[in-house]
Structure 1
Amino acid sequence: MALLDKVIVVEGKTDKKRVQEVINEPVQIMCTHGTMGIDKLDGMIESLYERPVFILVDADKEGNRIRQWFKQYLSESGHIFVDKTYCEVARCPRPYLARVLRKYGFEVKEEAPVKGLVYR
């Protein structure tokens, strides 16, 4: 796989920052900035063909709307879901997000667990 071959699509800059805090491999992280329209999608989709693309958006109405766009226009994309307890990618505790990303085959940074806390 070429450098930055994998792509994770997130909604905003704070989501991107949170993913960068836990990911431990070269991955391109693209932001939708919360809105999807046909023009924006066309611009993104062209650069995404033939690359492994993962959609990691908030567990809310807007996130679901973005997922639907990708299911329709880039059906081979993978969808990573965060627990509704956290709702927003940016609010996910790092150990939890690392575990979720690891499930999808991403290399993540090892972090000492916080004593007494359990992440689902």
Structure 2
Amino acid sequence: MDTEKVIIVEGRTDLKKVQPILDDDVLIICTNGTIGIDKVEEIVDNYLLDEKDVYILVDEDDSGHKLRKQLNKELPHAINLYVDRSYREVATTPDRENASILVNANINIHPQYLKGFNEDGRN
């Protein structure tokens, strides 16, 4: 896939949660949890992430924080996206919340996922 936008998530359930929301040419990379520095470097090199718009969307828990820290070291240009701490995980965050996070990062989404939000993005 030759795309300029990349979203990095932790697990396959996160990928399955985010993918249907997208209406944009975006590659989703699944790390399968916390990874070592060698694996991070491999992902950066294999997907040419230094040349892409990279978004980090990981869980709000210890493993997500650790992964975010690792990714930010290798990808200082990455944009960090955050799910609300009350949901803790990307996979358990409601679709419209994930859609709002993505659209606020200028990633195109299918508009039906924002159903129920007012124009200011609030319920």
Query: SS of the residue aligned with 2:109?
Result: coil
State the TM-score, normalized to the length of structure 1. 0.89
Query: SS of the residue aligned with 1:8?
Result: strand
Instruction: Kindly tell me the number of residue pairs found equivalent between the two proteins.
Output: 116
Structure 1, unaligned runs of 5 or more: none
1:34 and 1:21 map into 2 onto residues whose CA distance is 21
Q: Is residue 16–residue 29 contact of structure 1 (8 Å, CA) maintained in 2?
A: yes
1:32 and 1:3 map into 2 onto residues whose CA distance is 19
RMSD of aligned Cα (Å): 1.9
Q: Which residue of 1 aligns with 2:116?
A: 113
State the TM-score, normalized to the length of structure 2. 0.87
> How far apart are residue 113 of structure 1 and its match?
3.0
Structure 2, unaligned runs of 5 or more: none
Runs ≥4 residues deviating over 4 A? none
Q: Is residue 41–residue 74 contact of structure 2 (8 Å, CA) maintained in 1?
A: no
Q: Is residue 7–residue 26 contact of structure 2 (8 Å, CA) maintained in 1?
A: yes
> How far apart are residue 3 of structure 1 and its match?
4.5
Query: SS of the residue aligned with 2:91?
Result: helix
2:73 and 2:50 map into 1 onto residues whose CA distance is 14
Q: Is residue 17–residue 91 contact of structure 2 (8 Å, CA) maintained in 1?
A: yes
